[in-house]
Structure 1
């Protein structure tokens, strides 16, 4: 099977099709609803931390770094040190997500220098 080469950005074709633009309204409504729900949570960082943990775990699995939620929670609490190198790697990923989120919240932008 031949692998397709990725096209260089920006794409020369118009990606703002009718189908995409129609989905935009429902996506906007869903985000507004989520924003309203989050504002009703006394400590919204709980939601962000949970989503970040799941995202870090799933993204790390793509790189064949497999761990359990249990190991990640133990690593976050630093119970008995890091027993699993995979959990430590996912913890580093979570820390990077939190750092990036904090920078975006503070500066309203994430720059290449922040990423580096």
Structure 2
């Protein structure tokens, strides 16, 4: 199990969208069209994005166990999906990118 310091460090590196960027993204049709909804209308990633905004609004010292668990889940998701490499063509408009963005990571952000 990772320490809070390890999770924090990876979170800082991987969650590269600001709360404002993520909030704006979550309002798009593209954001709402990707991911598994488990039958309740909102995808797991979309819910995660809303939670990420909440967490980013807190100080490290104010995070609770549920926050740390979600942060670890986000880090794991981003790492797994980045390892897939995404599609060879049109990464910018791919479900792969859109899903990662729901989880707070724009894989093209560092490339711009």
Which structure has more RCO (C-alpha within 8 Å, separation ≥ 6)? Answer: 2
Flag the structure with larger Rg: 1
Question: Scaled by the length of structure 1, what TM-score is found?
Answer: 0.30
